[in-house]
Amino acid sequence: MAMRPVLAASGLVVALSLGACQDAGFSAAGSARAREPIPQKTVALMATKNMSPRDPILIRAFKKESEMEVWKRGADGQYALLKTFPICRWSGQLGPKVREGDRQAPEGFYPISMGQMNPNSSYYLSFDTGYPNAFDRANGRTGSYLMVHGTCSSAGCFAMTDEAIAEIYAIAREAFAGGQRAFQFQSYPFRMTAQNLAKFRNDPHIAFWKNLKEGSDYFEALHEEPRVGVCGTRYVFGGSDAAAGACTPKVDPVVVAKRQKDEVEVAELIAKGTPATRLVYQDGGQHPFFRETAPSTQLFAERAPPRPNLGIVSRPEALAAAPEEIMIEPKVKPVLLAKIDPKHEKGKHGAVKPTALAFAAPATNPAPIPTREAAETAAPAAPITVASADGDPSAYRKLLGNLFGGAPAAPPVAAVALPAADTTPVAAISPAAPLPKKLMGHPHPVAHAATASVKVDAKADAKVDGLNPAAAKKAEAKPAEPKPAGKSGEAKTGEKAPEAGKRTEAPHHNRVAASQPAN
């Protein structure tokens, strides 16, 4: 029997070494900690902001800045910032959690209900973020026990100090007592500012982060909790229509104005030469407040030095080094259109021919033009998924043209390649050029070209050297004047005898045929 406590203790040590966020332990003092009141300084701060302890709350976390914000809804129905807490430890890199064991702290929008609060946590107190949510499952992400807890140790969690998690837990507890069924936990890689978006514009996660910014814009513009839905593999944000499952919820004009302002600012920063970078951590980060050389800031002035006891700190050697900043170049650089070369060969009418457009890898053998019969007998193409939210298939008709019938397609225009980070990948389109106008009406161009040549020659007989058809008929009606015949088998001086087997044609026929445009 005496061995059981020892085995239990050893099992807890193993759990701590394998994953600091697997909060399966039990604390006998947990129930007492969970009943601690909100500090009086914080209650007084609420009063100055026209808030009460039982008003609803919303929490936001930022990895790069290592800060966690607690917002409260005031009497006017809008949320206002109550307090900001320094994050003692988070692990991994900037970016979402993808799979079990990657040490990534989650990024996204998570509802926290009363059942996710753990008053008996082995890490003082904690609440489970609810990862993976519907969005994470739709993207095939795995993992569990991702929490916000005390003790400065993290393997995919947001680790606060014991004092900080005690205060956050008490604020949340009172909000639940006031009738809030769940509060929203928003987790971001960094603050969604124009400066950060310009800096991280070429990061592999930028598309996901821009999706998160849509929810951040809603909250920051309206100071209302956004309703969150999942459409396919994307978040959608809005009001009641987003909560009802609409994939294209209405966007408030105030939110639209904020997004446009940020986009203009991002473009200006890029134009001024803001470099595209990526931060690489050894294993997450920590707020400077907890470093011995960092002075206490006004933001956390309520907690005077000496700094609180951090308890177990995970991987302190990884915290000693600052993150490495790596410059990221776009995968595809923009290619400019070639200018007209004045030295280029001129056409027959004296016009200068433009040079071809520059491509990264021009095709040496262009694809043959398909005929109507080949198109009709070919296997049907796979359906193309429209990337836009409104699901407009007509956009692809505009891109492909009426290739196999209907109105003739416009001649193909080479597109300029854009940076991969600034565009969303689209489905590849067949490089075959659309049919020219004449070929679409005549599936057999060779046969028709021969017929057209015969017709042109017949007309040319009637109209050459400035003669009109009437004059030509009169010329044919007059008998030819007899000429003195030479000796048999001899030719006139200066004339060549026609070669055997070749048809003798008038030279004006060749001139007329050469002036016809090729099909």
> What are the catalytic residues?
149, 157
Q: Which domain holds residue 63?
A: 32-280
Those residues whose C-beta lies under 8 Å from the C-beta of residue 75, and which sit 6 or more positions away, are 50, 51
pLDDT in tens, 171-228: 999 999 999 999 999 999 999 999 999 999 999 999 999 999 999 999 999 999 999 9
pTM score of the predicted model? 0.61
Residue 192 belongs to a domain: yes
Q: Are 324 and 410 in contact (CB under 8 A)?
A: no
**What pLDDT, on a 0 to 100 scale, did the predictor assign at position 133?**
97
Give how many domains the chain has, as a whole number: 1
For residue 125, tell me if it sits in a domain: yes
The more confidently predicted of residues 283 and 375 is 283
Residue 251 lies in a domain: yes
Q: Which pLDDT score is estimated for 194? A: 97
Is 182:308 a contact under the CB 8 Å cutoff? no
Q: Find the CATH number of the domain harbouring 272.
A: 2.40.440.10
Mean pLDDT score of the chain, rounded to an integer?
Answer: 72
Which residues face 278 on adjacent strands? 326
**How does DSSP assign 46-76, residue by residue?**
HHHTT--TTS-EEEEEETTTTEEEEEEE-TT
Q: Is residue 97 part of a domain?
A: yes
Asked if residue 23 is part of any domain, the answer here is no
What value does the mean pLDDT take over residues 64-90? 96
Q: Evaluate whether residue 107 is within a structural domain.
A: yes
Higher per-residue pLDDT: 358 or 294: 294
Q: Which of 67-71, 471-475, 483-487, 510-514 has the highest mean pLDDT?
A: 67-71
The answer for residues whose C-beta is within 8 angstroms of residue 191's C-beta and 6 or more apart is: 62, 64, 65
Which residues are 70's β-sheet partners? Answer: 59, 83
- Least-confidence region, from 271-285, 329-343, 396-410: 396-410
Least confident of 30-39, 87-96, 200-209, 322-331: 322-331
5 within a domain of the structure (yes/no): no
Q: pLDDT by residue (tens digit) across 284-331?
A: 999 998 886 554 444 444 554 555 667 788 888 888 888 999 998 776
182, part of any domain: yes
Give 58's pLDDT tier (boundaries 50, 70, 90).
very high
Q: Compute the distance between CA of residue 239 and CA of residue 254 in angstroms, rounded to an integer.
A: 13
Backbone conformation region of residue 303, classed left if phi is above 0, alpha if psi is from -120 to 50, else beta: beta
In angstroms, the CA 417 to CA 93 distance is: 31
Predicted pLDDT at 423 = 42
